[in-house]
Amino acid sequence: MRRVAITGIGAICAIGHDSRQVWAAARDGVCGIRPIAAIPTARLSARLAAEVIGFDPAVHFDRRRLPMLDRAAQLALVAAREAMAMAALPAFAPHRAGAVLGAAIGQQTFDDAYRAFYGEGASRVPPLTVPRAMPSAAVSAISMEFGLRGPTFATASACASSAHAIGQAFHMVRSGMLDVALAGGGDASVVVGVFKGWEALRVLSADACRPFSRDRTGLVIGEGAAILVLEPLAAARARGAPVLAELVGFGMSADAADLTAPDEAGAAFAIAAALADGGLDASEIGYVNAHGTGTRLNDRTEAAALRRVFGAHPPPASSSKSMMGHCMSACGALEMVVTVQALRHGVLPPTIGFREADPECDLDCVPNVARVAPAQAALSNSFAFGGLNAVLALRSAAA
């Protein structure tokens, strides 16, 4: 089994248009959650989102290609370009290179089509509606952009989708099936139809995302994308590529319990499985990027799962969603980028908005201010509706 290096990262979300900006903002506790600007809000109860402000698709794509790309695919391609530029890969065999992304429906494409047909009486919808909106649209676009002819597909597990995607790509590189893999996801769900669906669940916050704080009121929807480039560690070292971190373990589980309520035992199993897969002892983990949605049940359950695995004093666990919102299919990948940077720089990003300790969330969530704390290894947690769990384990490149 080959060791797997991360040699490129790309990211775009509400707190930055590239991975450098995203990390600087996450480290400094910059909040990307603000009043919604892109869609009408008159019929919405929750009017906050973590939107990518100032993104001009015409700067990144020519006028012939742009009609083929939903916003989710646009964001994923921008992140992939950054990651590939950073990795600076030499020529590769196309059939030994592939991509796995979290499945993301082209929500804006569907919303526009449905509004035109049902609301405005249009007799037809644009001819590219289906290929723009299909859940594999972004990964297909990435394969075409970079000439990837190996295994290329999308994984669907709600907000664990991009974490599962990274884990599957990791398995393929580690086993020798692929020599290069792009993995991650993009999502653009700031559309009226999606918001109304989430409103019906009564989990959207009207004021802020405050994970683990006793007065938390729910999650805030975000949008964005992140892509990682994975390759064998030996190959990366042989060509002198900077290794950002080593991906060492991946744990998965299903709660098999409830459609919307998370289960402590299922989450704990995935955490323990990631440690075992990576050959890590619990004592080696210096940081956890928590799923940390800001909902009452999720945060309480995640804290209990961490205590079940780590004992009474789990490692520091902060939530990036307090700054970049819940980016749905892309959140696991964006949080992995933050986790990689935390290991590289020896700084734990904060959970912002924290105001009051909750006895049911007895965690060190790095409240409000980043902390200098070099760590040798870290975890990134993703726990999705339907009880689908994915946890990724990283080791510092310097370890």
* Coil, strand or helix at 306: helix
Q: Is the dihedral of CA 257, 291, 285, 228 positive or negative?
A: positive
CATH topology of domain 4-238: Peroxisomal Thiolase; Chain A, domain 1 (3.40.47)
- Pairwise CA distance, residues 229 & 215, whole Å: 38
Residue 329 CB coordination number (10 Å): 34
DSSP string, 173-227: HHHTS-SEEEEEEEEE--SHHHHHHHHHHT-B-SS---TTBTT---B-BBEEEEE
At position 86, the amino acid (one-letter code) is M
Task: Copy the structure tokens of residue 14.
Answer: 């509400």
Question: Looking at domain 247-396, which CATH architecture does it have?
Answer: 3-Layer(aba) Sandwich (3.40)
pTM of the model: 0.98
Residue 278, φ and ψ in degrees, nearest 5: -90, 0
159 is known as an active-site residue: yes
- Which pLDDT score is estimated for 378? 98
- Active-site residue (options: 31, 164, 209, 291): 291
Q: How far apart are CA 84 and CA 81, in angstroms?
A: 5
Q: How far is CA 93 from the centre of its chain?
A: 28
CB atoms within 10 A of CB 327: 33
Q: Give the pairing of strands 48-49 and 34-35.
A: antiparallel
The per-residue pLDDT string of the chain (399 residues; one tens digit each, 9 = 90 and over) reads: 999 999 999 999 999 999 999 999 999 999 999 999 999 999 999 999 999 999 999 999 999 999 999 999 999 999 999 999 999 999 999 999 999 999 999 999 999 999 999 999 999 999 999 999 999 999 999 999 999 999 999 999 999 999 999 999 999 999 999 999 999 999 999 999 999 999 999 999 999 999 999 999 999 999 999 999 999 999 999 999 999 999 999 999 999 999 999 999 999 999 999 999 999 999 999 999 999 999 999 999 999 999 999 999 999 999 999 999 999 999 999 999 999 999 999 999 999 999 999 999 999 999 999 999 999 999 999 999 999 999 999 999 987
Catalytic residue from among 326, 327, 331, 365: 326
d(CA 151, CA 139): 11
Q: By three-state DSSP, how is residue 235 classified?
A: helix
Integer Cα distance of 239 and 242 in angstroms: 9
Joined tokens for residue 132: 């723009």
**Hey, where are the domains in the chain?**
4-238, 247-396
Residue type at position 290: A
Distance from chain centroid for Cα 398: 24
User: Do the two domains 4-238 and 247-396 of this chain adopt the same fold?
Assistant: yes
Residue from 13, 17, 31, 159 carrying the catalytic annotation: 159
For 376, which DSSP code?
A: S
